[in-house]
Homo-oligomer: A and B are copies of this chain.
């Protein structure tokens, strides 16, 4: 049975959604859960669920890293934090993968330093899945594990993104695009023009440059960029989606007629919300680490935690890292 270590203390509402999501995952999927955190706090939450026969264990970790902690400092100072202990469980092969909805920077630091990086990988990359207009999923990477990437790093991101996409979303030959400012080969900056040339020669199914709007068009499956651009892109999407829904809510409350209308349309709004609900996609894997690591949004609810555990278990089962090593050793990337 696949075992996933869950950082029970990380998210904004920890440990409630972490524990509930773990109970749901243990019930629905064939996984064993190690809930990592302050035992009394985690146990108090766990007893609220009728889960005595589920494969869930509590693993003690005395410290908690908050969203306000500085990632590198927290990593050095809080060595018995839940995310440290979760990463060590993976490192020591006591778990097949880990999930944290905590401080993203701290989770990435713990994964980089405790798990380390795969032999053929220079830099780990955070991959964010997005719902697209064709009803499928597109994946953007890197969304913030690195800035100032070199061309060969982006080629590695392309290969890792493709392997992850195949393992998680079942496409045989995902289409890989390079995020740029125009479709032609000459469009882009110094970095992307060099990456374009390298990707053309690589074994990935490279379809060329894509633009910002293609994140949602469904015209590509995997979109590669430097972490500086990817992180800004990710936060624009979150910010804009929230703004549009807020404005819509305010508009709908502006008259009695539209309030009645909104009530009648409720089902449709819920349908839409479910469609673009990030919790269905279950977090962002940190690809290239020596061990499976999935990172969730601080706001992750129980459903998001459950799905992130499903994704982590799936990546472990698919032996994603062996596949990444194989593909990368087959990809001749000039160092």
- Interface residues of A, Cβ cutoff 8 Å to B: 132-133, 144, 147-148, 179-181, 188-190, 192, 211-217, 225-229, 231-244, 246-248, 251-252, 254-255, 257-258, 260-269, 271-272, 275-276
The docked-state distance in angstroms from the alpha carbon of A320 to that of B217 is 39
The docked-state distance in angstroms from the alpha carbon of A262 to that of B255 is 13
Q: Are B264 and A189 touching (Cβ within 8 A)? A: no
Q: Are B239 and A236 touching (Cβ within 8 A)? A: no
A270 to chain B, nearest CB (A): 9
3 cross-chain pairs, A with B, having the tightest CB-CB distances, nearest first = A261-B264, A212-B235, A213-B239
Q: Which of B181, B239, B264, B276 contacts A227 (CB 8 A)?
A: B181
The docked-state distance in angstroms from the alpha carbon of A239 to that of B180 is 15
Q: Are B233 and A233 touching (Cβ within 8 A)? A: yes
The docked-state distance in angstroms from the alpha carbon of A324 to that of B247 is 35
Contacts of A241 in B (CB 8 A): 240, 244
Q: Are B211 and A235 touching (Cβ within 8 A)? A: yes
The docked-state distance in angstroms from the alpha carbon of A15 to that of B228 is 41
Among residues of B, the one whose C-beta sits closest to the C-beta of A262 is B265
Q: Which of A133, A144, A244, A261 has the most CB of B within 10 A?
A: A261
The docked-state distance in angstroms from the alpha carbon of A248 to that of B216 is 15
The docked-state distance in angstroms from the alpha carbon of A269 to that of B258 is 9
Contacts of A264 in B (CB 8 A): 257-258, 260-261, 264
Q: Which of B189, B236, B275 contacts A213 (CB 8 A)?
A: B236
The docked-state distance in angstroms from the alpha carbon of A236 to that of B272 is 19
The docked-state distance in angstroms from the alpha carbon of A217 to that of B235 is 12
Q: Are A215 and B236 touching (Cβ within 8 A)? A: yes
Q: Are B252 and A233 touching (Cβ within 8 A)? A: no
Contacts of A238 in B (CB 8 A): 212-213
Contacts of A242 in B (CB 8 A): 213
Q: Are B255 and A147 touching (Cβ within 8 A)? A: no
Contacts of A265 in B (CB 8 A): 252, 257-258, 261-262, 265
A147-B181, A181-B231, A228-B229 are known contacts. Are A251 and B239 too (CB-CB below 8 A)? no
Q: Are B240 and A240 touching (Cβ within 8 A)? A: yes
A232 to chain B, nearest CB (A): 4
Q: Which of B212, B243, B255 contacts A236 (CB 8 A)?
A: B212
Q: Which of A147, A238, A242 has the most CB of B within 10 A?
A: A147
